[in-house]
């Protein structure tokens, strides 16, 4: 159980209008969904604290709500990593192979193009979830992972560096269901390479409200 008893988690605001290939309307709807995860995470925390203090921890309801917390909490946090690594500024741009991030991806995947191919393939997998390039802080190695829903596939202790939402709500207002590859291209065109690099080098973390 998470004991966030004093301060509810605060929703973070993101200014992302004017992205290429991801409409403002999609973002508006998406921010609303993110707000739902913040609300539900706070609500679950409150309920769990109440049940804990009320001695109801042996109940099936406590177990189910505790499991649900993983879904809502990861849903909230992954959206913050996702919105946080998008930018409509031209300063975002492509990952340069000579940057710290480009070099680290090259070392882990052989070259930058192989990372991109793999990340795109992971994102194009059938199913609902996320494609995430994670850093293993213990080894410095980067690896791509598929996350089913929000909570199945995240590696404990790994740091998200590049996070892409591939739930259909992330693109269905702009593309047909079968056009996920076009959305993935749009995501990569709007990727804030500077932010991803700052995550890698420890200069930046998840944005919080």
Binding site for Fe ion (CB under 5 A): 165, 167
Nearer to Fe ion, 109 or 167 (CB): 167
- Smallest distance, Fe ion to C-beta of residue 128, A: 10
Nearer to Fe ion, 26 or 47 (CB): 26
Minimum distance from CB of 45 to Fe ion (Å)? 21
Question: Of the two residues 115 and 167, which places its CB atom closer to Fe ion in the complex?
Answer: 167
Nearer to Fe ion, 80 or 192 (CB): 80
Please state the closest distance from residue 163 (CB atom) to Fe ion, in A: 10
Shortest separation between residue 35's beta carbon and Fe ion, angstroms: 11
3-class DSSP string for the chain: CCCCCCCCCCCCCCCCCCCCCCCHHHHHHHHHHHHHHHHHHHHHHHHHHHHHHCCCCCCHHHHHHHHHHHHHHHHHHHHHHHHHCECCCCCCCCCCCCCHHHHHHHHHHCCHHHHHHHHHHHHCCCCCEEEEEEEECCCCEEEEEEEECCCECCCCCCEEEEEEECCHHHCCCCCCHHHHHHHHHHHHHHECHHHHHHHHCCCCCCCCC
- What is the nearest approach in angstroms of Fe ion to the Cβ of residue 30? 6
Question: Which residue, 86 or 104, is less far from Fe ion as judged by CB?
Answer: 86
- Shortest separation between residue 156's beta carbon and Fe ion, angstroms: 22
Residue (of 110, 126, 108) closest to 162 by Cα position: 108
The phi and psi torsions of 129 (rounded to 5 degrees) equal: 170, -140
Report the residue closest to Fe ion, judged by CB.
Answer: 165
User: β-pairing, 129-136 with 141-148?
Assistant: antiparallel
Q: Which is nearer to Fe ion, 151 or 165 (CB)?
A: 165
């Amino acid at each position: 159980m998470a004991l966030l008893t004093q301060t509810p988690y605060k929703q973070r605001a993101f200014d992302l209008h004017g992205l290429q290939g991801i409409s403002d309307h999609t973002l508006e709807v998406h921010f609303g969904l993110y707000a739902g995860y913040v609300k539900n995470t706070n609500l679950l925390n409150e309920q769990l604290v109440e049940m804990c203090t009320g001695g109801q921890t042996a109940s099936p309801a406590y177990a189910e709500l505790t499991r649900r917390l993983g879904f809502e909490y990861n849903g909230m946090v992954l959206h913050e990593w996702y919105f946080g690594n998008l930018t409509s500024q031209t300063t975002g741009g492509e990952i340069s192979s000579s940057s710290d991030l480009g070099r680290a991806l090259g070392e882990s995947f052989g070259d930058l193009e192989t990372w991109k191919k793999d990340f795109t393939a992971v994102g194009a997998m059938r199913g609902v979830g996320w494609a995430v390039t994670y850093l293993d802080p213990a080894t410095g190695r980067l690896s791509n992972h598929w996350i089913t829903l929000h909570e199945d596939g995240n590696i404990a202790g790994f740091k998200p560096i590049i996070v892409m939402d591939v739930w259909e709500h992330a693109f269905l207002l702009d593309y047909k269901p079968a056009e996920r590859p076009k959305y993935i291209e749009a995501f990569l065109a709007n990727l804030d390479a500077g932010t991803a690099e700052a995550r890698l080098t420890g200069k930046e973390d998840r944005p919080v409200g």
